[in-house]
Amino acid sequence: MDGLDLTVDELYEVLSDGTRRRLLWTMLDRGHPGGVDVPEELPGADGSRRRTRIRFQHVHLPKLVRTGLVRWDDDRGELRMGPAFDRAEPLLSAARDRERTVQLPGAV
């Protein structure tokens, strides 16, 4: 997927997980396509680094790359904004702003 085919349903699926939301928001807050080290910069990551890295590599990363929201640089171990990131930015911003202002049960 090149990001041009990203559907609203796929974006909501990505945003349904708090770890992925926080990671995308970290990238959004930086406002540029610079890399994010993973999992060291997984905001709010729980548990051990090893467990966080395994879960990231096997669950979150494939979903983020497949949707085109991020590009993964395996040599550097960092994420960069993918081709779909700009298209998703309005919904990412709205979701972040909403979560900051409304305390919903289960909000991260």
- For the segment 59-103, what is each residue's pLDDT rounded down to a tens digit? 999 999 999 999 998 888 788 899 999 989 999 999 888 887 876
pLDDT value of position 56? 84
* Count of positions (residues) in the chain: 108
Q: Which residue type, as a one-letter code, is found at position 23?
A: L
As a CATH number, domain 8-99 is: 1.10.10
Max CA-CA distance within the chain? 39
Q: Which tokens sit at 58? A: 């096997």
Residue indicated by tokens 């905001």: 43
Rg of the chain (C-alpha set): 13
Euclidean distance between CA atoms 46 and 56, whole angstroms: 12
What is the pTM for the complete model shown? 0.76
* Ranges of each domain in the chain: 8-99
Element of type H or E holding 36: strand 36-37
Whether 6 has a pLDDT exceeding 80, the answer reads: yes
The residue ranking higher by pLDDT, 54 or 94, is: 94
pLDDT value of position 66? 93
pLDDT value of position 5? 81
b/e map 69-90, b = 16+ CB within 10 Å: bbbbeeeeebbbbbbbbeebee
